[in-house]
Amino acid sequence: MNDPLLECRALTRRFGGFAAVNDVSLTLEKGRIHALIGPNGAGKSTLFNLITGALPVSAGQVIFDGRDITALHAAETCRLGISRTFQLTQVFQGLDLRENLHVALMLRSGVPALGGRAAQRQLDEMALEALESVGLGDQANWLAGELSHGDQRLLEIAMVIAQQPRLLLLDEPTQGLSVKETHQMVGHLRDLLRSENLTVLLVEHDMEVVFAIADHLFVLHKGEIIADGPPEDVRDMEAVKGAYLGRETEA
């Protein structure tokens, strides 16, 4: 087992009497790609929000590289190196791709927005490198709003990768993509995440994507982890088939 980068310890989030996340414990190993699956309403987005500090925790702990970050807010966890994407694409439609990357880079690199020529060249070089890593280098001067939905997803991923995160949370990166775009996204993600040796937690409904990318799989159902392990082992568990496919399984 690799060293843990992030641990959730008995993590719970209640809304009144309803526990959206209930006593969840999981470990993310450094340099591995983990996937989180479960039916709609299972608590996946809530768990992301607890890890990143976007929602306060009702009980339990979030430990990041040995440090308790349970009480930190989203801006503070971002500065520590935890970055995420969202179900709905978050890019600046009226800016070109290079400018979108400038915004992301200035959040993490310390390069000033109004620096001299050397600082501007540094931003441009880093932006172009990030765009080329997802196959968008040739469109650097396009407006983000001119891109296809799939390419906007890739731009968003380039923006978070450019921040050099230590932990990357990807929330349904193939949502709304065509079959062709999904295959392209899988290829880009697999190559990019492996080359960067990132620690990743991926929420995804498309099981082909999960099995093509993930090293480890967690299954969340009604706010609780009901299974985890290598994807090929978890796939055949009867409890997972019943919960995730929404059907009764044979004894």
- At residue 174, φ and ψ (nearest 5 deg) are -100, 10
Instruction: State whether residue 179 is helix, strand or coil.
Output: helix
- Alpha carbons 6 and 234: distance in angstroms, whole number: 21
- Does residue 249 carry a pLDDT above 80? no
Mean pLDDT of 109-137: 77
d(CA 231, CA 212): 10
* Confidence band for 64, pLDDT divided at 50, 70 and 90: very high
pLDDT of residue 71: 96
- What is the strand order of the sheet 59-64 is part of? 18-29, 4-15, 59-64, 67-68
Residue of 177, 187, 218 lying closest to 200 (CA atoms): 218
The pLDDT > 70 percentage for the chain reads 90
Query: Considering the domain 1-81+165-251, what is its CATH architecture?
Result: 3-Layer(aba) Sandwich (3.40)
- Give the model's pLDDT for residue 118: 76
Long-range contacts from 15-18, C-beta under 8 angstroms, 24+ separation: none
The domains of the chain are located at 1-81+165-251, 91-164
pLDDT tens profile 169-225: 998 888 888 888 888 888 888 887 777 778 999 998 888 888 889 999 999 999 999
Which pLDDT score, from 0 to 100, does residue 247 have? 47
Predicted local confidence at residue 110, as pLDDT: 52
